[in-house]
Amino acid sequence: MHILFIADPLASFKIYKDTTFAMMREAAKRGHTINACEVSNIRWAQASGVVADTQIITLTGQADRAWYVASPLQATPLKAFDAVIMRKDPPFDSEYFYATHLLEQAEREGAKVLNSPRALRDHPEKLALMEFAHLAAPTLVTRDIARIKAFHAEHQDVILKPLDGMGGVGIFRVRDDALNLGAIAETLTADGTQTIMAQRYLPAIKDGDKRVLLIGGKPVPYALARIPQGGEVRGNLAAGGKGVAQKLSDSDLKIATELGETLAGRGLLLVGLDVIGDKLTEINVTSPTCFQEIFDQTGCDVAAMFVAAVEAATESSRG
């Protein structure tokens, strides 16, 4: 197969932990041709349809920035690839939104895009939680500062976070003393002009913010518990959290099983559920990670599971 990865700049990859790199390595190992581009390389014209300037990527096996060799850029219709894998990291901003429309047009022209562009739009990573509220901790989505303060007054210990962040950026905990609540709410909402999320603080975070992966609707048997370090409230690996792989608990499996078939049926081949204790906190669909950490600690080859699912999805679309 010829697989196109739409990703962030390749030079920015930290290949010792990068999930997109793990996908590429596994695909190359299986004999597939790896292609890459950035969102900025994609365009549409009436005469040509959706085209991207893409490069064929050859993996070198080196561990530094010379981990790949790239061919010259070549304009290629997206429908010419057997699979197009969207791996651009958040934020889900206007440019990401426009990219999903370009990719959806590519689907109309015959491209196989994973995850589905429409599903990416329909499942913003924090707001997708609203559909499955019965699995979540008490949560509020608003830009109204007075309502944020009232939510805090009710629950006493809360987490406030922006809707478009990743890696733990912009996450604040406000305890029962309400210290700086007003300033934090004003800053995150830009004085009431931007919507944010508030959630009741879950003490189980001390045991980790678990990333539970779904591939083709089926749960990967291991989660990565991202455990806060050094007084941090955030378990995100990018914020210094420690990743500990562990078998899915009964509650993890229950959540994963309940959501798996539904999300897969909407075109979400790969999903990363964030679970604290027995509560669902986020549904990540843009570029779920943790493949390499789970493999390194358990031997569970998540990348192989994913590429096999891509092969199956591509084969079924041909059939």
74 DSSP β-pair partners: 54
CA distance 292 to 15: 9
Non-local (6+) Cβ contacts of 209 within 8 A are 225, 226, 227, 228, 234, 235, 236, 241, 274, 275, 276, 281
CA distance 159 to 199: 5
Residues taking part in catalysis? 126, 161, 211, 226, 234, 274, 282, 284
Half-sphere exposure of 190 (CA within 13 A, CB side): 5
3-state SS, 277-298, equals: CCEEEEEECCCCCCHHHHHHHH
CA distance 90 to 123: 13
Structure tokens at 91: 């934020």
